[in-house]
Amino acid sequence: MARTQRSGALLDELGEPDGIPLYRHVYRRIREQVLTGSLASGTRLPSTRTLATDAGISRKTAEEAYAQLETEGYVVRRGGSGTFVAEVSTRRRREIRLAGRRTLSARGRAIAATTACVEPSEVRAFGAGLPALDAFPFDVWQRLLARRARQLDARSLVYGDPAGFPALREAIAAYVASSRGVNCDASQVVVVSSSQQALDLSARLLLDPGDEAWLEDPFYPGARAAFLAAGARAAAIPIDDDGIDVAHGVRVAPNARVAYVTPSHQYPLGVTTTLERRLALLEWARRSGAWVVEDDYDGEFRYDGRPVASIQGLDRAGRVLYVGTFTKVLYPSLRLGYVILPPDLVRAFVNARTQIDGHPSTLMQSVTADFLSEGHFAAHVRRMRSLYRARRDVLLEAAEPLRDRLTFPTTHAGLRATGIFSGPGPLRSLAKPSRGSAVSGAFMKAMIANDVSGTLVDDHAIAARAARVGLEVAPLSRYCIDVKRSGLVLGYAGLSPAAIRAGMATLAEVLW
């Protein structure tokens, strides 16, 4: 039986919010107690109604504080049974406590308290997101690298252009214009070390502490981390069959400064945002003066249907920042990405870039520029697209025997597939989709197929069982905020057909 915390004790001497929004003050007070261990894991917190009455705050403030605690993983909310203190490891408690004692800034504490995604560093079923590194064209890459290395002289050792190696900026502009419908010239391209750096720069430059930012629900952890580190509040905007529910966003967070979206291939559901929604998003951004950060992290890999052009290419008001990365199309340790900016933002981004680290290695930028401009990149993408399509087919075939339990509604693109639980399994009580959340369409029906009594398959428990037999599967509920879903995110592009089949067979044993 969970211990229930009285709200009086929880917010003894609430104190002054000290210039920050009241909900954030409440959130910090509770978070402190979770981190110091004075609120033990599993403790049930008072309902928002009780907390509001006892602490003399509004229910909305209590609700926002709990929502933030949940988003950051300090509490777990179970529809019907309440809000509970989550497991926070002793090591993490100590790290955060020490960071606090060494008097980090408020921003520093926000950074220390958030974690982005930790991508796998080895290839194993079904570690999410790695490309087929065994199929990388090492011979061509080594030849280009050797050629550039031979050309090194004293002039090439000085600082480079902080906006990026000029030939690479040109090559990127030509590539995104022709293959992703992006409307730009090289002067709008800033080369960064990763899309994560582009998100971090966007959050630093476009958001003030307390500002709201739209985050897709389910969300990409890297984006959430960048927003929270900037002190912003994440407004969860549900994803349905048509992509991000713009009307919901306009209802709940009309004044948000930024909307982060993955419209080509939503992370992690895989949905493609329709043209109508893209236009609605742009219209809202134009009217409200918000920025749209479009993360096109794997838009190259579409296997069925026609490729979808970028939102940036539809934008006539200069509100879109288009983010791309070479992590998926080349390899993660290259650490190169780019952001295509509205012209009036370029100077600020280049300045911010200079203050952080200058620029990525000129040598590697020049090799990448040659790879693109000499046609190797286009050939590599074509080869990988057909390889990944074949691997996707193997995955779906191997998943056939599981179809009563796990279905894959959106597998038309990308390096991962998200399976949705649709049968009986270890259940845990979760909140129903929140009021006003869109849950229409076949995709969403699959999502909540087994959610007949407010319960969903416990995907965390399944992921933990899978880990014990050597499989790496990410529980979908990990990425969910308001609309609760249960499933598994499986990376497959980097795996051989044999590894995919063997992994699926092991997963089947875990599920039965």
What residues make contact with ligand PLP under the rule CB under 6 A?
119, 129, 194-196, 220, 222, 262, 267, 295, 297, 325, 327, 332, 337
DSSP 400: G
Q: Shortest Cβ distance from residue 192 to ligand PLP (Å)?
A: 8
**CB-nearer residue toward ligand PLP: 213 or 457:** 213
3-state SS class at 451: coil
d(C-alpha 512, C-alpha 387), whole Å: 31
From residue 500, give the alpha-carbon distance in Å to each of 311, 313, 383, 388, 469: 34, 36, 19, 12, 15
Token digits of residue 399: 């998943």
Q: Shortest Cβ distance from residue 497 to ligand PLP (Å)?
A: 22
**CB-nearer residue toward ligand PLP: 71 or 262:** 262
**CB-nearer residue toward ligand PLP: 64 or 298:** 298
436: Cβ–Cβ under 8 A, 6 or more apart, which residues?
Answer: 248, 251, 252
**CB-nearer residue toward ligand PLP: 222 or 425:** 222
**CB-nearer residue toward ligand PLP: 356 or 431:** 356
Q: Shortest Cβ distance from residue 129 to ligand PLP (Å)?
A: 4
Q: Shortest Cβ distance from residue 220 to ligand PLP (Å)?
A: 4
d(C-alpha 126, C-alpha 278), whole Å: 31
From residue 404, give the alpha-carbon distance in Å to each of 268, 422, 443, 449: 21, 7, 16, 11
Count how many Cα atoms sit within 13 Å of the Cα of residue 284 in the half-sphere of its side chain.
25
Q: Shortest Cβ distance from residue 201 to ligand PLP (Å)?
A: 12
What DSSP letter does each residue of 130-147 carry, written as one string? ---GGGS-HHHHHHHHHH
**CB-nearer residue toward ligand PLP: 325 or 434:** 325
- Main-chain dihedrals φ then ψ at residue 322, nearest 5 degrees: -100, 120
**CB-nearer residue toward ligand PLP: 332 or 342:** 332
**CB-nearer residue toward ligand PLP: 7 or 262:** 262
Q: Shortest Cβ distance from residue 130 to ligand PLP (Å)?
A: 9
Sheet-wide strand order for 487-491: 406-407, 416-421, 487-491, 474-475
**CB-nearer residue toward ligand PLP: 69 or 341:** 341
Count how many Cα atoms sit within 13 Å of the Cα of residue 480 in the half-sphere of its side chain.
27
What DSSP letter does each residue of 353-388 carry, written as one string? HHHHT--S-HHHHHHHHHHHHTTHHHHHHHHHHHHH
Q: Shortest Cβ distance from residue 510 to ligand PLP (Å)?
A: 24
d(C-alpha 126, C-alpha 228), whole Å: 28
Q: Are 482 and 217 spatial neighbours (Cβ–Cβ below 8 Å)? A: yes
Q: Are 391 and 130 spatial neighbours (Cβ–Cβ below 8 Å)? A: no
Amino acid at 431: A
Q: Shortest Cβ distance from residue 377 to ligand PLP (Å)?
A: 16
Q: Shortest Cβ distance from residue 360 to ligand PLP (Å)?
A: 12
**CB-nearer residue toward ligand PLP: 238 or 360:** 360
Q: Shortest Cβ distance from residue 418 to ligand PLP (Å)?
A: 12
**CB-nearer residue toward ligand PLP: 74 or 297:** 297
**CB-nearer residue toward ligand PLP: 33 or 325:** 325
Q: Are 311 and 320 spatial neighbours (Cβ–Cβ below 8 Å)? A: yes
Gyration radius of the chain over CA positions: 23
Q: Shortest Cβ distance from residue 262 to ligand PLP (Å)?
A: 5
DSSP 297: T
Q: Shortest Cβ distance from residue 465 to ligand PLP (Å)?
A: 24
- DSSP E strands: which ranges in 40-170? 44-45, 75-78, 82-85
**CB-nearer residue toward ligand PLP: 96 or 493:** 493
Token digits of residue 74: 């300090």
d(C-alpha 489, C-alpha 462), whole Å: 12
Q: Shortest Cβ distance from residue 205 to ligand PLP (Å)?
A: 17
d(C-alpha 392, C-alpha 494), whole Å: 11
